[in-house]
Chains A and B, each alone.
Chain A
Amino acid sequence: MFLPVILWTDALVFLLLAVVCTFAMHARRQEHLRASWRRVAQSPAAMSAAVILGAFIIIGFMDSIHFQRTLEVNNDQTSVSTPRLAGAGTIYAPEVKSVLDLALDHLASRSERTYSAPLATNAFSREATEGPNGESLRDYPRLRYGGAHLKDPQAQWLPDVVLTLVRGAALAVVIWYVLSLLVLIAARPDDMPVNVFTANVWRGETELPWRTVLVTLALMLLVALPVALLAREYHVLGTDKVGQDVLYLSLKSVRTALVIGTLTTLVMLPFAVLFGIMAGYFRGWIDDLIQYLYTTLNSIPSVLLIAAAVLVLQVQMDARPELFPTASHRADFRLLFLCIILGITSWTGLCRLLRGETLKLRELEYVQAAQAFGVSDWRIMWRHLLPNVMHVVLISVVMDFSGLVLAEAVLSYVGVGVDPTMTSFGTMINAARLEMGREPMVWWSLASAFVFMLLLVLAANLLADAVRDAFDPRVRVLARKPAVLDATEGAAA
């Protein structure tokens, strides 16, 4: 039925998940790491942000499990026209789908002809249609799918929408009740009865801010479920120029943003850590060389380096179409390359920080003791230095995330971002930026991209701040410097 497809970025997403899980297991066993994470969890803003990020991550992960559907094949035809494939058995559909596509099939497949407003039942602009008596009318025709179940939209639309909203809200309350029960039972200390713990949560007197978590969850469900129910009959966020459902596009963009924000750091991390620690530990000519390397890379304005690299890649990819079996493979490779090149331009900051930290650490007694015992250099770096600079790595990873998500939008606007066929917030904004000038204005694509991006980036920022406060007592060293792309953006944008 299905042929599982693992794209490059999928594989890296799975790898990243494995790394995070290993790190979590490790952190559970280390008391000092547990303590720091508990400090993060004590911040209400961070917990609330974590709930929202969790929802985004589930969406992104569902969108990272890809497959190709089998096509219904007429055996006779196959054996005549393409004997080679008939030998292979089955033929797969040319487009690669994800589990999220499967779940949102009703959104993806129901395209309108062009723009339609959120929750609309009729088209956004007048079209010439043929009346019952053959005369030509200029009217707002009914949409193909949006509100197609209504016989008389004018009378039925409002009751139907309100009813669906109420049903969704009721469903949300039920699901929230079950989920909060689970949370309360799981989070309760062993010696406390559930009702006492519930009362404590209600009053906000627990060690971890469970009340905030439950409230965030409630708000999220209250928005998500009514929208989900409405989305079965309407285009909740309208449709774009070619009639695609904007809600679907927004949800698909989440994965692109998450991939850019996380994989970029994943690909650059090994180099930054290795070079940073080596430079600080060995000093001398190795330090000089590494410093020269990162100063040189840093001197090239990052947008221009990215632009140059992506332009070159485009030319090279156009020259070798045979490497990419489907359009998805092609778009995915470009996404991966974008992550790599963004990584190349952004590892220098972390490298410099790690070098400085290592320079300080290497003078400490325990490193000198290890040296006196004859422990090899590499082992000292691995056993004694790496664990002690990990907090710097962690902080810079979470702090880079939001900047990278924002950078993607800018790069896509410049034309050197993700592949045009790949949905991302950048491509959405880019396609929609001229719509503000239309009369009447088409605002929903931009508004959706704005809200989704704001939620994602704001949540990431709040979590990053909590992580920094918990792991870095000396606030200043890693305080956020303005903007990732500041070198070429100057003070503006």
Chain B
Amino acid sequence: MTAYIVRRCLYAVLILIGVNLITFWLFFKVNTPDDMARMQLGNKRVAAEAINRWKADRGYDKPLFYNAGAQGAAALTDTLYVGKSLEMFRFEFGAADDGRDIAHEITTRMWPSLALALPVFILGLAVYIAFALLMAFFRATYIDFWGVVLCVAMMSISGLFYIIGGQYLVAKIWALVPISGYAPGFDSARFLMLPVLVGLVGGLGSSARWYRTIFLEEVSRDYVRTARAKGLAETTVFFRHVLKNAMIPILTGVVVSIPLLFMGSLITESFFGIPGLGSYTIEAIQAQDFGVVRAMVFIGSVLYIAGLLLTDISYTLVDPRVRFE
């Protein structure tokens, strides 16, 4: 098993290098530093010196892969690729366009993101599974039918409407919570209640329906028929056998998103003014700050790959039939 995990880790590094090369190509080859400078400096008639100064200030004035002007090993290391792209593996992201250190911003902003995403994740799992259980237990009855209708209707509504509707109803009309904002520490609960609720409601349709499919598939298996045949009550069959076995695909399926909880949610955070990584990303996109976007792409990929690794590991833990090939 150790050998298997080591092999998966090596593969993960390989994928990260691929991601790194793609983003480098996109941000430096397709979109050259000259383009970036021209865009940041504002207009079409920028003097060449201004562009060069902008590039030099930010360390963009180097060749992409091979620096012919440098000596020895520096010819390979004193380049944009090494300086701007490989550096990210050390979690060195440089400074944003407003001069602040990106790595520092990320470490401070990931906690509010987590404070929002973690409750949504845990409560969501509980609520969705409970709802899916209800539908699956009363399968082929009106409860199931209308439950599915509700799910399909809810997943046909854009997440934006849940946020706008929630803000309007809960925060403006009922005035139960502030419309947006954030405070550190335990004060944040006041501000987080509504976004968490909106997040829960927004994900209900698709998730509950997906879990219901898993439950129903489990119900139709042979061991369930055996359990019924030996005279177990339907509730025992359902909660002792079906629930336990259905949790395997559900839990291994959600493991992949655990590391991504740090990334937060772009839309929810920016609507509710929560200073997390999601709103940081949106601000960067709107300000066309390529340095920050590049860093976020890298971090997002790292977290996703970590999620894949966790998935692999969790499979081996919960299901002894998984072989390591």
Contact = CB atoms under 8 A, between A and B. Distances in A.
Interface in B251-268: 257, 260-261, 263-268
Interface in A446-493: 446, 450, 453-454, 457-458, 461-462, 465, 475-476, 479-483, 486-493
A308 B120 contact: no
A207 to B, nearest CB: 23
A436 B120 CA distance: 25
A437 interface: yes
Contacts of A479: 210, 213
A336 B148 CA distance: 35
A307 B265 contact: no
A491 B205 CA distance: 12
B242 interface: no
A492 B213 contact: no
Contact of B23 (A308, A462, A482): A308
A307 B293 contact: yes
B39 interface: yes
Nearest to B285: A307
Interface of A is mostly: helix
Nearest to B31: A312
B158 A410 contact: yes
Given A292-B15, A413-B267, A488-B260, A300 B203 contact: no
A492 B23 contact: no
A493 B265 contact: yes
B276 to A, nearest CB: 11
B167 interface: yes
B265 A461 contact: no
A48 interface: no
Given A410-B159, A436-B172, A491 B213 contact: no
A490 B286 contact: no
B297 interface: yes
B31 A476 contact: no
Nearest to B216: A475
Contacts of A314: 288
Given A292-B14, A295-B15, A312-B31, A488 B263 contact: yes
Contacts of B14: 292
A415 interface: yes
Nearest to A476: B217
A304 interface: yes
B147 interface: no
Interface stretch (A175-183, A279-287, A315-323, A368-376): A315-323
Interface string A288-318: 0000100111111101110111011011101
Contacts of B116: 492
Contact of B293 (A311, A425, A446, A465): A311
A433 B165 CA distance: 10
User: By DSSP majority rule, is chain B's interface helix, strand, loop, or mixed?
Assistant: helix
A480 B209 contact: yes
B111 interface: no
Contacts of A305: 297
Given A414-B285, A436-B168, A489-B266, A312 B296 contact: no
Interface residues of B, number: 73
A13 interface: no
Which of B120, B163, B167, B203 counts the most chain A CB atoms within 10 A?
A: B203
Contact of B120 (A414, A429, A462, A492): A492
B94 interface: no
A41 interface: no
Contacts of B207: 482, 491
Interface residues of A, number: 58
A311 B285 contact: yes
A292 B18 contact: yes
B121 interface: yes
Contacts of A446: 161, 164
B233 interface: no
Contacts of A225: none
B7 to A, nearest CB: 13
Contact of B297 (A308, A425, A453): A308
Contacts of A406: 158-159
A416 B267 CA distance: 13
Contacts of B18: 292, 296
A409 interface: yes
Given A410-B267, A476-B213, A491-B124, A299 B19 contact: yes
Contacts of B181: none
Contacts of A476: 213-214, 217
A402 interface: yes
Contacts of B161: 429, 446, 450
B304 interface: yes
A420 to B, nearest CB: 12
Contacts of B188: none
Interface stretch (B50-58, B82-90, B102-110, B149-157): B149-157
B281 A304 contact: yes
B259 to A, nearest CB: 10
A453 B157 CA distance: 7
Interface in A56-104: none
A284 to B, nearest CB: 15
Contacts of A481: 206, 210
A489 B117 CA distance: 9
Given A318-B39, A433-B164, A414 B266 contact: yes
Contacts of B162: 493
29 contacts: A292-B18, A299-B19, A299-B301, A300-B300, A300-B301, A301-B263, A301-B297, A301-B301, A308-B294, A311-B290, A315-B288, A316-B35, A318-B39, A410-B266, A414-B267, A414-B282, A436-B167, A446-B164, A450-B157, A461-B155, A476-B217, A481-B206, A488-B263, A490-B261, A490-B264, A491-B203, A491-B207, A492-B267, A493-B265
